[in-house]
Homo-oligomer: A and B are copies of this chain.
């Protein structure tokens, strides 16, 4: 079979190839007319979750299966990742107080119970940090060699006032782009861990719940769009926001915080920190008048010390992201089919 006939690792990398695959082979197969009540954001939006309107409320639903390898890494583990990942997807839809989190475990036979319990304890600690709870679940065991280690699906439900959700697609020319913190930490840390090197122990995943930071940002100003730059990194998130918002984005590259160890490791690995997953960051479109207030509010939160304005939305370059390096300008493309499996 040709490469196009089989699913490859690139189909799951969260980049352009993934989106084409999802649109052609997955999303197009599912009609939306059977959804209950009014569907404000459905599958075809390819947003971070769905939004269903009921009376004066909106029910936000988001799901992620976590397949990260190794199970534990500097800064976190699959348990923290599974809870933070879903809390964060709810948060960037506008649901900063999760109603319900589910935990569906698939465990390889032969896994130590102690390891599993450590992962679950990490999930619970992360739930406590995010102010939420796992209220239902499922546990399956597959044979040794049928699944590698532990896989965790978490699905989140939030209920917010109707109309309070914030889509990916809401950018308008003149908006400022605000980033909650440094990029590249999670992806570069995972890749360095797999390659067996660390630079003076400074690499550390950013995995954390950001719902409090998002709530602070929503309180501080008008947020027009939000996205957490996970698989495919900041480059993919910005390109999606530009495409969906039919707007152009100009990024001031020197303003984007990147930790020194991440830059150094990225060069060694040949990976751009803009292209890899973050698990504790949010990129906001913000009404220009509110940008400084949003940055100030973010900086007062536990995850937002490095928050900064990183660019703005223009009425040129529609659907594209322009990177202003300080020496010149070039388009920032999303990575195509990068081979970064099991990063989250």
Interface residue ranges of A98-114 to B (CB < 8 Å): 98-100, 102-114
How far is it, in angstroms, between the C-alpha of A147 and the C-alpha of B106 when the chains are bound?
10
Instruction: Give A153 to B137 CA distance when docked, in angstroms.
Output: 11
> Which chain B residue has the least Cβ–Cβ distance from A231?
B140
Q: Give chain B residues whose Cβ lies under 8 Å from the Cβ of A26.
A: 105, 120, 137, 139
From residue A232, how far is it (CB to closest CB) to chain B in Å? 13
Residue A36 at the B interface, CB < 8 A?
yes
Q: A50 contacts B11, CB within 8 Å? A: no
The CA of A150 and the CA of B130, in the complex, are separated in Å by: 31
Q: Cα distance A130–B37 when bound, in Å?
A: 15
Q: Given the complex, which residues of B lie within 8 Å of A146, measured CB to CB?
A: 67, 69, 147-148, 342
Digitize A1-36: 1 where CB-to-B-CB distance is under 8 Å, 0 elsewhere.
100111111111100001001100110011111111
Q: With A6-B112, A29-B123, A36-B100 given, name 15 new contacts (CB 8 A).
A: A11-B107, A18-B139, A25-B113, A32-B135, A34-B133, A39-B133, A39-B135, A50-B100, A52-B135, A59-B59, A59-B99, A65-B106, A104-B153, A146-B147, A147-B147
Q: Does A253 contact B (CB under 8 A)?
A: no
Contact mask for chain A residues 77-121; partner B; CB cutoff 8 A; 1 contact, 0 none: 000000000000000000001111011111111111110110011
Q: Within 8 Å of chain B (Cβ to Cβ): is A293?
A: no
Q: Which residues of B contact A116 (CB under 8 A)?
A: 7, 25
A241 to B255, CA, bound (A): 60
A159: interface (CB < 8 Å) = yes
**How far does the alpha carbon of A112 sit from the alpha carbon of B305 in the complex, in Å?**
46
Which residues on the B side are within 8 Å of A10 (C-beta)?
141
Number of interface residues of A (CB under 8 A): 93
Partner of A114 from the list B5, B67, B111 (CB cut-off 8 Å) is B5
27 residue pairs from A and B, CB less than 8 Å apart: A7-B108, A9-B141, A9-B143, A11-B139, A13-B141, A25-B117, A26-B120, A29-B117, A30-B133, A30-B134, A33-B133, A34-B128, A34-B132, A34-B133, A36-B100, A37-B99, A39-B135, A50-B102, A50-B136, A54-B99, A59-B159, A63-B102, A63-B104, A142-B342, A145-B148, A147-B151, A157-B157
User: Quick one: copies of this chain in the complex?
Assistant: 2
Main secondary structure of the interface of A (DSSP, over half): mixed
A151 contact set on B, CB distance < 8 A? 65, 106, 147, 151
Among B12, B98, B147, B341, contact of A139 (Cβ-Cβ < 8 Å) = B12
Given the known interface contacts A12-B140, A147-B148, the answer about A111 and B36 at a Cβ–Cβ threshold of 8 Å is no
CB within 8 Å for A100 and B61 given contacts A11-B141, A151-B151: yes
- Given contacts A99-B37, A151-B147, A138 and B1 within 8 Å (CB-CB): no
B138 A65 Cβ-Cβ under 8 A? yes
Given A50-B135, A97-B36, A133-B33: A109 and B63 within 8 A (CB)?
no
